[in-house]
Amino acid sequence: MNRINRYAGGLILVFLLLCSTGVSAGSLRGLNWFPFVKKQKAVKLRRIDDREFKRRLDSLLSFEMAKTFCVSTISELEEGPCFTHVSGGIDIKCDWVNEFEYFGTWDKGTVNPYKVDPLKLKTPVMLELCDKKDSTAWVFPIKKGRITSRFGWRRYRYHYGIDMKLRKGDPVRAAFDGIVRIARYNRGGYGYYVLLRHKNGLETIYGHLSKYIVKSGQEVKAGDLIGYGGSTGRSTGNHLHFELRYQGNPINPAEFYDLEKAELISGQYQIDEHTYAYVKEMRKRVYHRIRRGDYLGRIARRYHTTIIKICRLNRIKSTTTLRIGRRLRVR
Ligand SMILES: [Zn+2]
C-alpha cells in the first residue's frame, strides 16, 4: 500500500512539474521575452494576365481595403468580355475594377479615392511590374528628361512626384499598359493631367500637360501617346510632373526607375516599410501659418517648443521679421 502511495505521489510530482514548465514557457512567449523577430513573409503577386493571379489576388493583398465601392452593375455578356458600369456613365472591362478589391473604387475625378493608410502595411507586397526584357511592356514617359525636381520636401509642401524638363508639345506616353481613370483639368495643381490605372497595381500621373488626347475609360498600351508636355496648372515652366502611386499613396519614382538612364530598374518591386518611410517622417513635421500679432515667443509657447528650435528649423534669426501668411516649421 505504502509503495503504491509513493508511486502515485511521484507521478503527481512529475505531472505538476510538466504543467509548471509549460505554463512558464507560455507566459514568457506571451511577454515576448524570447529574442525571436518574426520574419515577415513576402507576398508574391504573379504576372498580370495569369488567371490564377486574378483568383488569388484578393487574399494576397494585405492592406485594409477602402470600402467605398461605386460600381453599380456588372453585366456578363454571353460572349466576349464582361463589362462593368462605373460612375460617370462609362462601361469598362471588368478586370479593371475587379482585379484588386481596392480597384472596385472607380472615380474619374479624385486622385486618391482609396484612403488606405500606407503605414498600416502589414506584410511586404511584391508587385510584378512587367517583363522588363519585353520592350513593349513599359516605356519611360518622355524621351529623355533632365530631372529638375525630385520626390520629397519642397519648402513646406511635399512634392509627390518628379519633375522632368521638356519642350511644349513633346509627346508624353503611358508608362505601362493601363486604363485612363482621370483625364481632366486641375487649376491650382496638375493643370491638364492624366491618371492611368495599371494591372500591376500601380497608378501613374502625368501633370502640367498642354493637352491630353485620351478620355476616362479608354484602354492604353505602354508607349501609347496620351498627351503633350506643357506648363498648365501650378507650374513655372514646361515640365512633366510624373507620379507613381499604389493604392493612392505616392511612391518615389526613383525606386522604380534609374532616372539617369531613363529605364526601369527591375520588372519587380517590393512594397515594404522602407517604401513609405517618408510618410512617417512627413507626419512628424508641423507648420504654423503666421497671423497678425504673432511673435516667436508666442508660437514657441503654443507648440511647446523654444524660439531657438524654431529658428534652427527655419534658418532664421530671432530678430527676423515675421511676414503674415508665411509658414514656419515648428516641429
Ligand atoms: Zn512636380
Tens digits of per-residue pLDDT, 34-46?
223 333 333 333 3
Residue 303 in this model has a pLDDT that exceeds 80: yes
**CA 77 to ligand 1 center in whole angstroms:** 43
Q: How many alpha carbons lie under 13 Å from residue 296 in its C-beta half-sphere? A: 17
Asked if 147-264 and 286-329 have one fold, the answer is: no
pLDDT at 20: 44
pLDDT at 176: 93
pLDDT at 227: 97
**CA 163 to ligand 1 center in whole angstroms:** 5
What average pLDDT does range 71-94 have in this prediction?
63
**CA 231 to ligand 1 center in whole angstroms:** 11
Domain ranges of the chain: 43-128, 147-264, 286-329
**CA 245 to ligand 1 center in whole angstroms:** 14
pLDDT at 11: 52
Q: What is the CATH number of domain 147-264?
A: 2.70.70.10
Q: Quick one: the chain helix, strand, coil %, rounded to 5?
A: 25, 30, 50
Say if domain 286-329 classifies as CATH 3.90.45.10. no
**CA 270 to ligand 1 center in whole angstroms:** 24
Share of the chain above pLDDT 70, in %: 73
Residue 25 in this model has a pLDDT that exceeds 50: no
- The pTM of this model reads 0.70
**CA 162 to ligand 1 center in whole angstroms:** 5
Torsion of the alpha carbons at 129, 154, 229 and 243, rounded to the nearest 10: 20
**CA 298 to ligand 1 center in whole angstroms:** 35
DSSP 138: B
**CA 248 to ligand 1 center in whole angstroms:** 17
Q: Is 306 helix (H, G, I), strand (E, B) or coil?
A: coil
